[in-house]
Every structure is written in structure tokens, then in C-alpha cells.
Amino acid sequence: MTSVLLVDDQRLVRSGFRLILAVEDDLDVVGEASDGVEAVATARELRPDVVLMDVQMPVMDGIEATRRIVAEDLSRVLVLTTFDDDAYVFDALAAGASGFLLKNADADHLVEAVRTVADGHGLLSPQVTRRVVERMVAGGTTGTGTTTGTGAARSTGVPPSAPDLDRLTAREREVLVLVGRGMSNAEIAQELFLGEATVKTHVSNVLGKLHLRDRVQAVVYVHQHGLAGSA
């Protein structure tokens, strides 16, 4: 059972998320918070597996709350927002968020995102993946508008001399490319006619062989090496 904490300053939004998640047998909404301060305190108390975090809230915003929750290793954080803005994406990822999803995503994508983050994988919404990665690869720009000076290699942790793709099997390379397109394990499984458990194993192998921390780094790797259209 995956425990989830809902954080949003609008009660109706929290109620909507609760209704979506409550019908899933493997997901359990264990608490709610209406601002960042309350979110951090509740996360300390409940230690949920995943926090669904809004960005703009009173008292303390979701970015700072994410930073504190991740720093204390209280939970993984999936940031949800109505704001399709690069700055929010960069700031959320810099704060340590494991995923970023727009609130207009459908219920299935929300459920899959929670499961993906709970499984220890990073996730970016397909709607924002390509634009975010292009900025990261081109200039290493952060949400505050600061350029790192060494491009995406420094800002994302991907080494300038990336490991050789020959370390991957043909199937693992296919999976890597689809991860780079922002696809979930379920979507990859459907695309390649595989079981989700098999896809999960392939993703883990890819991350290990290429020394990448999570799916977010895998996305950047794919775009750095021009692999997005190779599958």
C-alpha cells in the first residue's frame, strides 16, 4: 500500500484528488495539508510514501516545502500545478521533487504518476518534458534564470563524458528512448508489447548501466545524445 499526503490550499482540489486515488486498491490517502508549513509538519508526522504538492500556497509555497521535505528525507514529492511554466519545473526539480505533473492531466496519468514516484523513479509530464529538456541541454538554465556555465551536464548531474550506449541491449536502448519521450512504464509496455514488470526491470538496468539517478536524468541523456527519434 502506497501512502499519499495531499497538499493544496483549495479544499475542493484536495477532495478531487482524494476521490481519484481512493478507488485504487494500492493507494491510501493518509492526510491533507493546506499550505507548505502544514505540509512539512504533517510529512514529519505521517512519513507518507508520496506527497502531492501544489506550488502556489500561502504561508510557505510548495517549492520551499518540497525542499524541506526532501532535505529531511520524509517522502518523495510529486509537484502538481496549473502553471505550465518552465520556472516552476526547474525550481521544483532543483528542490528535489521526484516528478512534475500539470493538474489538467487525466485521472489515469495522476494515478500512474503516484505509482511511478513511489517506485523510486523520477517523472516529468509529457506536456513539458521536451521543452524543459531542450532548455537544460542548450543552456543549463535554472528556474531562477541562472546559467550554470557548463550546460546541462552540471545542472542535471549527467557527466560530460557519458557512458557508451553499447552497454545497453537493443531492448534497453528502446526503453531508454521511450523514457526520454516522457512515457510512463505502462505506456512503454503498451508500445513494446511487454509486461509492466519487465519494463520496470529494463528501466532499472538502463539507469544502473548509464549511472543515471532517475528517469529525469535519463530524459536529459536521451536529448543530449540525439536519441529521441531513434526508436
Same domain for 184 and 106, yes or no, is: no
Do residues 155 and 142 lie in contact, with contact meaning Cβ atoms separated by under 8 Å?
yes
Residue 111 shares a structural domain with residue 21: yes
Average pLDDT (77-105) is: 78
Confidence band for 85, pLDDT divided at 50, 70 and 90 = low
Q: What is the count of structural domains for the chain?
A: 2
Residue 231 domain flag: no
Does residue 47 share a domain with residue 10? yes
37-41, 78-82, 96-100: which has the highest mean pLDDT?
Answer: 37-41
Q: Which pLDDT belongs to residue 163?
A: 53
- Classify residue 230: in a domain, yes or no: no
Please state, in angstroms and rounded to a whole number, the distance separating the CA atoms of residues 121 and 99.
8
Q: Point out the least confidently predicted range of 19-28, 41-50, 161-170.
A: 161-170
Among 12-26, 28-42, 116-130, the minimum mean pLDDT is found in 116-130
Identify the domain boundary among 120, 148, 169.
120
Residues 96 and 65 in one domain: yes
Instruction: Check whether residue 108 and residue 205 sit in a common domain.
Output: no
CB distance 161 to 221 below 8 Å:
no
Which CATH number covers residue 76? 3.40.50.2300
**Is 133 a member of any domain?**
no
**Same domain as 112, residue 197:** no
Which CATH number fits the domain that encloses residue 188? 1.10.10.10
Q: Are residues 109 and 149 in the same domain?
A: no
pLDDT at 7 over 90: yes
At 93, the pLDDT band (50, 70, 90 cuts) reads: confident
Whole-angstrom Cα distance, residue 2 to residue 84? 27
Domain that holds residue 68: 2-120
Residue 42 domain-assigned (yes or no):
yes
CA angle, residues 124, 201, 218, in degrees to nearest 5 = 35
From 67, 90, 120, the end of a domain falls on 120
Q: List the 123-124 sheet strands across, edge first.
A: 27-33, 2-7, 50-53, 76-81, 99-102, 123-124
Q: CA torsion 171→176→181→183, rounded to 10°?
A: 70
Predicted TM-score (pTM) above 0.75: no
Q: C-alpha angle 213/102/193, rounded to 5°?
A: 60
Q: Are 132 and 90 contacting, i.e. CB atoms less than 8 angstroms apart?
A: yes
* pLDDT surpassing 90 at residue 230: no
Q: Is residue 155 pLDDT above 50, yes or no?
A: no
